[in-house]
Amino acid sequence: MSVFGLQPAQLAAFAFAVALLALTPGPVWVYLISRTLAQGRRAGYFSLIGVMAGVLVHLFLAAVGLSALLLAVPAAFDAIKFAGAAYLLWLAVSTVRGAGGLSFTPQPLAAVPDRVLFRQGMTASLLNPKVAIFYLALFPQFVAPARGSVLAQSLVLGTIHVSVSTLIDGALVTVAGWLAVWFARYPAWLRVQRWFLGIAFGILAVWLALASAPSP
């Protein structure tokens, strides 16, 4: 039985494709693993929820056709990309600075409220135009106007993507959480957490700043 014109075989093929992509190490892995190792499994889960909330916004924008502007107007892609890089760089600096200001003396990383973890994850996801480009590249291979509503088909496929990615990334956070418990036994690790997480954010900022928009 089809779902808005999408056949079961197509849905299975799409789920398999996004699973392979989710299993490929990338910026999301770096973000979630570094968060979890430095701040624990709970921080990783709330960061994941925030990231996926941002992905859902990208999904809706792609489904209604607004994300196509990123290909039509390269300056828009660059603007979002550099805004995202600047935000990650700000996270890097603020993490290293800590509440007491910049200090080269190793200090424990302060706890971050759940709502802040969610907001930071969502903001980082929203300011990553590569998520929108992903949908623009993948949807046309599975969506066909002749079979029904393009919006409905896009939302179904996007829901599958978010569900599969959440399961895989959630498992990643769970494993990283076990490692975080092991690392927490060592006082030296507790003293360098801020620098570890700050450097991870800095790497992500450079990674995003160097991203290039695909040709229309």
64-118 pLDDT, tens digit per residue, is 888 888 878 888 889 999 999 999 999 999 888 865 555 555 555 777 899 999 9
Query: Which of 199, 193, 191, 161 is CA-nearest to residue 180?
Result: 193
Q: Check residue 105 and give its pLDDT.
A: 55
Q: CB atoms < 10 A from the CB of 32, how many?
A: 22
Please tell me the least confidently modeled range out of 10-24, 96-110, 122-136, 171-185.
96-110
Nearest-angstrom CA–CA distance, 1 and 216: 35
3-state secondary structure the chain: CCECCECHHHHHHHHHHHHHHHCCCCHHHHHHHHHHHHHCHHHHHHHHHHHHHHHHHHHHHHHCCHHHHHHHCHHHHHHHHHHHHHHHHHHHHHHHHCCCCCCCCCCCCCCCCHHHHHHHHHHHHHCCHHHHHHHHHHHHHCCCHHHCCHHHHHHHHHHHHHHHHHHHHHHHHHHHHHHHHHHCCCHHHHHHHHHHHHHHHHHHHHHHHCCCCCCC
pTM (two decimals):
0.90
Average pLDDT over residues 117-136: 92
Query: Which of 22, 14, 52 is CA-nearest to residue 144?
Result: 14
Tokens of 32: 């979630």
In the predicted model, is pLDDT for residue 119 greater than 70?
Answer: yes
